[in-house]
Structures are given as structure tokens and as C-alpha cells.
Amino acid sequence: MAKANANTHLTLEERKIIEIGIRNGSTKTAISDTLGKDNSTIGKEIKLHRELSHKCHMPLECKGYRKCVHGRQCTQECPDYVPFTCQRRDRSPGACNGCSKWSTCRFNKYTYNAEKAHSAYRYTLVDAREGVNLTAAEAKEMAETVAPLLGKGMSPYAILQVRPDINVCEKTLYNYIEGGVLHEVGGIAAIDLRRQAGRRLPKKKSSKLKKRQDRQYLSGRSYKDYLAYMEEHPAANVVEMDTVYNNESEGPFVQTFKFRCCGVVFAIIHWEKTAAEMTAGVRTLESALGRDVFGKYVHVLLTDRGAEFSSPEPMEKRDDGTTRTRVFYCDPMQSGQKGSLENSHELLRYICPKGTDLKELGLTGQEALNEAIRNIDSYPVESFGGKCPLDVAEFMFNDLYVALSSYGIRRVEKDEVVLKPYLLKKFRCTASASD
């Protein structure tokens, strides 16, 4: 049976459990069962991050060193040489923390430290995502070589003529210095370059620069603020909001809403992905439901930090100044904080696959989108005992169900539900005929 936690990265707390397990003499199997991880994950973690705490003073680790008659000058050719192995160190758990023989053992001793292991993991993770083709040790060695030559006023070109063993091209060395790669490990900054003040920024690089986005709108609307608000208003109804699209420049762009109370999805089609369009989408939702029903079921809108949602005030306030709803934002890279809507996006993607031309597919207007949403909202849900979200809405939140039905979101019979692209074929044909 697959372990529920098997595919997630190890956390600091989990690494501390590994360290405690090693100290107590637990096997890798016992540790993996405790954490819900695979045996190989625990084994690789310990082997990768254990450190040599004591070096054997003999040339080789020989099992018969106590009875050695050769002056302990071990070689593999010695007739009495027998390689030393340790069940605890070399097999399971793979480190020597807490070993009862620590004080008397004269062989290599390895220890695993959770804090150091997690720090090394974080450094490797960031380094890999930044795309620098250097290990920390290599970067430090390069910095130690380059720093004194830069201090003499030499340019990267001249440095590479003096030290060709650095083994990078001039452009790469400039990039490492200007990108701060050598700053953390050697204190080398871009200002140390001889002609830094006079060098023009390359056009390709300057085109990627943009003015820092104003994040003031997040003040009081972060996920932490959302949790505090929900603690004070536990009965508040939450609607998750997002955008789905395939083509960043042409659209269509689908603004999606999911009512947590019943699982119903509502969606609005747009042809531009702007803050003004998304605000208009919230107004459309209020108009479709009616002011009273909207006020009853949309106390909170929870969304991500996409630029199209960066104008919360027009979404929260009506033109007359009254409060329509509250807007909160998930943490960066935390789509699971609105995971219910992300799951519904999977169903939408069955109908509108990634990489396809959605207009060519038939997603040509709100009517076509309503057809897709009707089938998604009529799809049986296991957690609802086989009922679909519209069944739940009709039974428990009838005023919401009536408002959705009036907008065109009506139930489809279970045996007629379609979650395939051909669902939109009739709208594609209609659009072609009108052309």
C-alpha cells in the first residue's frame, strides 16, 4: 500500500525524528514507518547528509587491528587484512549517533544532524532552482581564486588568461559576479568589476527588468489575515476564485468561482485578463445571484496573487460604497490553500485540455461555458455519497440553486454527463456557421 506522505519533501521536524531514530538505534524501516516514507528515502537522506565526525587513524579500516603484528601499517596486500564493517554504520540506520561503542571505536564514525541536513537541503534546492551550474564548494574555490586578481584591477578576461584552470568563459564569469553567485561564498560583488560603472546593461537583460509591483493591496488580506478573519467569523461562507486559460495573449480567460458550502462551480468568460475584467466578473456573479443571495453565500473571496486580482477594493465595494464581500489572498506557490477549486479545474481540463485552441474547440461565449459548468456541477462526488454539487445545493441551499438555474447552470442527468472536448462541438459548429 502506498504511504500517504511518501512523495512530499522531508521537513525539519521529520529530519529531527530521523536523528532521534538513529540515536535510539532504530532501523530505517522503523523510521520510514513512523514518517510514512519509503525505506529508500530514509536511506538516501542519511547517506547524503551524514558527516564524518571521526577519521580512522589507520591507513585502512582493518577488522584485526587489535591483534595486528605488522605495526598497523595496513595495506590491501597484507595477508591478515580483513575489511571492517559495522552493521549500524554501514547498513541500518546508517550513522553512529548514540552508539554504545562510540568512545572505544577507532574506525570512521558518521553522525547525522537534522539542522545541518535541512540547511544543506534548502541550499541545494535554491541553488538548483536558480540554475547555477556550480556546487557550493566549486563556487567558493572560484571566488578564492578570482577575488585577489580582481583586487589587483584585473578584468575577467585578464583573469582567465592568467588562470585558465577556472574553466569558464568570460561571459559566464561576468554573469556569476553580476548575479551575486560569488558574493555569498567569497564577498565578490558587481561593484568590484573594473568597468562596472561604465558597462551598459545588455538589452536582453534590461528588457526583463520591470518596475517592482506595488503589493500594498495585500495588507490586511494575506492568508494569515484570512485565517484570523475565519476564526472570528466561523460561519462565513467562502468562495474560491481563480483564472483558467491556455493562451496568455488571446484568451478566452475563464474566471472560476467555487462555493465551498456545496461544491458548485460558477464561471465567467473574458477576452482580456485584467484586473478590470475580473472585477466585472465579481459584479456579474452578484448580478446573477441577486444582491441578497450573493450577500448570503459570498462573504469571502479567496484567490491567488495573480496580477489580474490585484485590485481588491473594487471587488469588495459597490459603487454606492457598501461592502459587497471580503477578498483574501493565498500564500505564494500554495495552490493547496484553495485546493477545492484546483480539483474542479481538473474536470474543466477534461473538457478544455491544455495546449488546445479553446475558441477552435468551441469555447466561444458564455453559453458554451455554461454548458461545460453544468456538466461539471452534475458530476457525482464521492464525498457527497454519489450526489453532485447541484443536488447538494438544491437540497441545502435552495435559494442559491434557484439563482444558478436562472443563469443557466441546471442539472444534467447522471448518465448524460459529458467531460470530453466534444461537449462543445455544437458551439464550434454554430460559430463556424455564423462566420
Residue 411 has a pLDDT of: 93
Domain membership of residue 126 (yes or no) is no
Domain membership of residue 168 (yes or no) is yes
Are 18 and 113 spatial neighbours (Cβ–Cβ below 8 Å)? no
297 and 419 inside one domain: yes
pLDDT band at 433 (very low <50, low <70, confident <90, very high): very low
More confident call, 435 vs 41:
41
Q: How far is CA 233 from the centre of its chain?
A: 29
Helices (H), 163-219: 170-178, 183-186, 203-206
Residue 385 sits in a domain whose CATH number is 3.30.420.10
422 and 398 inside one domain: yes
Could you report the per-residue pLDDT of 31-64, keeping only the tens digit for each? 998 888 998 999 999 999 999 999 888 888 888 8
Phi-psi region of 48 (alpha: psi -120 to 50; beta: other; left: phi over 0): alpha
pLDDT band at 171 (very low <50, low <70, confident <90, very high): confident
pLDDT at 15 over 90: yes
- Residue 339: which H helix or E strand, with range? helix 339-351
Are 264 and 404 spatial neighbours (Cβ–Cβ below 8 Å)? yes
Are 435 and 398 spatial neighbours (Cβ–Cβ below 8 Å)? no
pLDDT at 29 over 70: yes
Interval 232-258 mean pLDDT: 92
Helices (H), 88-190: 114-130, 136-151, 156-162, 170-178, 183-186
pLDDT at 211 over 90: no
110 and 139 inside one domain: no
Domain membership of residue 149 (yes or no) is yes
Could you report the per-residue pLDDT of 363-422, keeping only the tens digit for each? 999 999 999 999 999 999 888 888 999 999 999 999 999 999 999 999 999 889 999 999
Domain membership of residue 152 (yes or no) is yes
C-alpha cell at 395: 437540497
Domain membership of residue 221 (yes or no) is no
Residue 187 has a pLDDT of: 77
Q: Which of 6-10, 141-145, 171-175 has the highest mean pLDDT?
A: 141-145
Angle between helix 39-49 and helix 28-35 axes, rounded to 10 deg: 110
Domain that holds residue 370: 233-434
Which residue has 495588507 as its cell numbers?
219
Instruction: Please count the structural domains in the chain.
Output: 3
281 and 355 inside one domain: yes
Residue 121 has a pLDDT of: 82
pLDDT band at 260 (very low <50, low <70, confident <90, very high): very high
pLDDT band at 197 (very low <50, low <70, confident <90, very high): very low
257 and 154 inside one domain: no
291 and 421 inside one domain: yes
Last residue of a domain, one of 146, 178, 199: 199
pLDDT at 125 over 70: no
Domain membership of residue 225 (yes or no) is no
Interval 112-128 mean pLDDT: 77
